[in-house]
Structure 1
């Protein structure tokens, strides 16, 4: 099998408040079996929140450490006091021709580029800092100082992203979902209303 025959890994990255979980949820609702696209579930060292857009696999830090040591992750990283991992099954899916969508981290891009090379498409979902700040404040999980720290971190990480496709999630959520869906299926995105 050549790279042309293999699937692509679409690694979604972006700052807190960009809407990654909401976009992924909307995208997966659009996908059909004949699209040959799989969604990688992350393992995270935090409990699952019922009703939250992302339904990850919750594991303890001890189990995560054992999985990491056993080589169970194609990608793994630590952020904001939590550990995140994407299992090696994504490599088998790619080798079988499936495209894979994964919620990743800007801090793990070097690892992803090394492991997946030409099969990787980095998708950077973002929004203006004022929009990010309002969304973070609206979810009520961070203090004002924590929100400011996240925005500063976002600016630093965004500066070193390298090659990527950027989707701005600043209007209706459906526009960002449609743009990502078109990218994954390699079709032009539908035109935005009022934009030539």
Structure 2
């Protein structure tokens, strides 16, 4: 990726009338698990879309993403293939540009993104809901240790990164502790809200 700054596809005026739901939170917060269950719960609803991210990391069972290398990612970025793109933890992430069409058609698009692009994304879309999925630090550390994914790097570094985003402007906070069902139900209820509510 040619720049370390978050890249947001410029859009004037902001895109609507659909809604962009940003799932954010610290590593170990359980975003991927909540999204995986929510995708199953919403499978019969064509108005809710879960696009696949492009990530410069090999595919794994934790997340359904398109695995590409850095050269492919940079070429796609230059070609305007991403609506949202950023770097984190030494990896590059991109959300396909097709989400703009879904939002123009009135759909709700659900994306797992970096907390670092929230403010920029809000400027590009008429209706943006930011959902912070998190847990106490001891639980985050335990989950990261149990996951032991090589691409995660240092657990301490991941936990320290939370200090950068202590004041993010989340619309809803979900404490993902204990049984995941409560977190999933809360998240799905957010997805099913109308933009007119």
**TM class, shorter-length:** 0.7 to 0.9
| Match 1:175 to one of 177, 182, 187 | 182
Deviation digits for residues 60-82 of structure 1, max 9, x if unmatched?
Answer: 11110011111111110011111
Partners of 2:132 and 2:170 within 8 A in 1 = no
Q: Does 1:164 align with 2:171?
A: yes
User: Does 2:30 align with 1:19?
Assistant: yes
- In the TM superposition, what whole-angstrom CA distance separates every residue of 1:27-77 from its partner, at most 9, and x where no partner exists? 01111434610101100111112xx13110111111100111111111100
1:115-134 matches, cutoff 5 A: 115-116=124-125, 118-134=126-142
Matched, 1:96 2:76: no
Unaligned runs of 5+ in 2: 1-13
Secondary structure of the structure 1 residue equivalent to 2:154: helix
Whole-Å Cα distance in 2 between the matches of residues 140 and 43 of structure 1?
22
User: How far off its partner does 1:6 sit?
Assistant: 2.0
Corresponding residue number in structure 2 for 1:191:
none
Q: Which position in structure 2 is the counterpart of 1:194?
A: none
Higher CA-based Rg: 1
RMSD across aligned C-alpha pairs, in angstroms?
2.0
Change (3 A) 1:33 1:141: closer
1:190 — aligned with what? none
Deviation at 1:109, TM superposition (A): 1.4
1:67 pairs, out of 63, 66, 76, with: 76
Which residue of structure 1 lines up, in the alignment, with residue 162 of structure 2? Answer: 154
Residue from 71, 86, 92 that aligns with 1:77: 86
Give the structure-1-normalised TM-score.
Answer: 0.85
Aligned residues: 179
Question: 1:75·1:111 contact (CA, 8 Å) conserved in 2?
Answer: no
Report the CA distance between 1:89 and its aligned residue: 0.6
TM-score between the two structures when normalised by the length of structure 2: 0.84
Alpha-carbon distance, 1:163 to partner: 4.0
Alpha-carbon distance, 1:167 to partner: 0.7
Q: Secondary structure at the match of 1:179?
A: helix
SS of 2:49's equivalent in the other structure is strand
Unaligned runs of 5+ in 1: 188-196
Q: Are the aligned partners of 1:35 and 1:185 in contact in 2 as well (CA < 8 Å)?
A: no
